[in-house]
A and B are shown apart, each in its own frame.
Chain A
Amino acid sequence: MFRRKFIKNAAIATGGLLLQNNFLKAADLQYEGKKINIGIIGCGDRGTGLMHVLNELTDLYQIAGICDVLDFRIANAKKLAPNAVVYKDYHKMLDQKNIDAVIIAVPLSMHFALGKDALLAGKHVYLEKTMTYNIPQAIELVKLAASKPHQILQIGHQYRYTPLYFKVKEMCRSGYLGKVTQIDCRWDRNGNWRRPVPDPSLERQINWRMYREYSGGLPAELLSHQIDFINWVFDTHATKIFATGGIDFFKDGRETYDNVQAVLRYEKDGMVGNFGATCANSHDGYLFKIKGSKGTISLLVNEGVYYPEKETLKEYHQTVDGVTGATKITWNKDGGIPILTEPVKDGSWYALSDFHKCIETMQPPTSNVYTGARTAFTVHMINKSLFGNTIENWQPEYNVG
């Protein structure tokens, strides 16, 4: 009883921005402290990756079903969940009453259809990023999710769930960086980004990332994480986008670009974001820098370093002669301060833990259908610009949530 009241009060305090009131109208906290039976739709690299994480969260979840159209993938997934029921057709899984929630980790072009079917079947849904293949699908999914206030729809932008990324958000918000004007992101690798294909007839199913019919390419698969993070930290979205790229190295019949660069203008925030990825150089690897008038934050997946600007540093040093503290600030040799010195778990661990909490408490996820839509809009705008040689502008109908 106390808990319900608390949630209600919290909802009032945070306002009606995120459908909170709808969620609570008939909030049925049936999952409080209970394990959730979860079904996995799509048992490729990502699906099985998430199954590994679920196996670390056995007090929260039980993998009740696994579904894939490819037999070798099922065989692989079965090793991780020997007791799960196997489905070849996801509709059959969705028909099962004992499945409370599903993880959807399928090619991007299928995200919308499966997400929609799962919501209509009454399931809670963890839908991998990017939320949808295109803008119209994102708009439709937002509408559908709004009509299902008692179901959780979380989008798999897992990085923002780690303590490190939360901390970075807090730092940006509390002025450590001063006024941020530039964001530099890269996600580079030196490799063809292909998966091995046991039988040539399966090429398009396995290497769906290579084909425009199924995939949004590097912007959707990689850069969307950083795009989503910037949207979340600054509560914003890019208003103008120009992108360029090509199939510049792996001329192997692929259709999606292996080399892309997008420039994103955030007009109201006075920021420019440079988002790039190549498959033909791995020197920078994952690079994520947020640059402000007082300092820079440089992020890796699990590490972050804060570099104060020279003037900021002066203020710091002049305050006192020495500092005592339980774990003192350690300056790197290059003049930076590590943001979190403790090891963190994989982002998916935090994201899936939170998914359970959201289902338990009927509170909307941090990475929800609205933030997911904003990122999906941006990714599609990048792809429109990439393939159409246009400058894409944010449209009023994209203002959801």
Chain B
Amino acid sequence: MTAFLSAFKFSPLLLILWWCQSGAGQSQPREWKLNGYAQGTTYSIIYFKDKEVVKGAQIDSLLDNIDQSMSLYKGGSLINKFNGAVSGVQMDQHFRKVIKKSLEVYKASGGLFDITVEPLVQAWGFGAHKVDSLPTSSEIRGIMKFVGSDKIYLRGNYLYKRDKRVKIDLNGIAQGYSVDVLADFLESRGIGNYMVELGGEIRVKGHKLPGMQKFALGIQAPGNGFNEDLMQKVIELDSGGLTTSGNYRKFYMSKHSRVSHLINPKTGYSLQNEMISATVWARNAITADGYDNVFMAMGVKKSLAFVKHHSGMEIYLIYQKADGSVADTASAGFYKFVKKN
């Protein structure tokens, strides 16, 4: 008894553990955090629950499964099979959902989002393989002949191509989808308060416990990219997906112009407009992710007009003004998210 008491006295941690295990704290949800590496980036998950119902290994295996389906960097992935195939492939569930959504965004955006952009991305040196020189205009014209989502179609679980040279790149949407898969998984385990972030794409639901605060999310502005000083805005959310597309980090200079990794599927050339980044809030992350590139291509005016006529989406845009200075703007609904100090 004396020994027990002395351990008790010097080890508050033991006390807490004992208290938790005894069932006294069972009704009190606490914060659980998971961090890891996947899809060439990191993920971070916060959820509130009385016990640990989701572990890192489960997340890793879910993401690995998605990679097997949609990663261009994984040899033997379904997407690589499709790209190498003459007529098409039998899809798995992940693939089918992402393709369906991609075609939906393709139509709604008038072709500004287009997964068949892969050969262009590759030609401009932003693909999975290195290139030695930049494409000539005639090469781009040649590639454009097999770019366009009208050259692919779905029949049941089969994705067909009308031209064997058609190749797809799901990088502009698969990460948002992955975030939704993780969110759905958390919900299936009875978690109602969480934040899932993967590669800067986010989905949240509910509140932080026990204080019931909304999740505070930073929107990274162009800059060095690793300090809170660089956050343009902090917003608060209790539901939905939040993603950002931008051309301020991935680009290189060719002669005197900037070649961005965002290629306009309608011209074959990299986007050249005033946009620096587009942050999108939508009901889920796949929608936000699909549309962030669309707004990058549309530019400020058209994007704001588009959102006015499409419910369930809010946007925050950073752009360059004619005088070279950087400015930002947002849809009316987005301002409501901005954290009030």
Interface of A with B (CB < 8 Å)? 59, 167, 170-171, 176, 306, 315-316, 319-331, 333, 337, 339, 341-342
Contact = CB atoms under 8 A, between A and B. Distances in A.
B197 A322 contact: yes
Shortest 6 CB-CB contacts between residues of A and residues of B: A326-B246, A325-B220, A328-B200, A327-B249, A322-B197, A320-B218
Contacts of B246: 325-327
Interface in B90-128: none
A324 B208 contact: no
Interface in B11-31: none
A54 to B, nearest CB: 16
Contact of A324 (B218, B247, B249, B250): B218
11 contacts: A319-B218, A320-B218, A320-B231, A324-B217, A324-B243, A324-B279, A326-B246, A326-B247, A326-B249, A328-B42, A328-B200
A331 B219 CA distance: 17
Interface string B178-204: 000000000000000001010111101
A313 to B, nearest CB: 11
A338 B41 CA distance: 12
Given A322-B197, A324-B218, A342-B249, A337 B243 contact: no
Nearest to B251: A342
B144 interface: no
Contacts of B202: 322, 324
Interface of B: 37, 41-42, 44, 46, 195, 197, 199-202, 204, 208, 215-220, 224-228, 231, 234, 242-252, 255, 277, 279
A112 B333 CA distance: 67
A339 B277 CA distance: 20
B42 A171 contact: no
B250 to A, nearest CB: 6
A327 B46 contact: no
A59 B228 CA distance: 41
A323 B220 contact: yes
Contacts of B42: 328, 330-331
Given A326-B245, A326-B247, A176 B277 contact: no
Contacts of B199: 328
B41 A322 contact: no
Given A176-B227, A320-B218, A321-B216, A327 B200 contact: yes
B216 A326 contact: no
B304 to A, nearest CB: 19
Given A327-B250, A331-B42, A333-B37, A322 B228 contact: no
Given A321-B216, A324-B219, A337 B242 contact: no
A209 B227 CA distance: 44
A155 B94 CA distance: 56
A333 B35 CA distance: 11
A77 to B, nearest CB: 23
A293 to B, nearest CB: 15
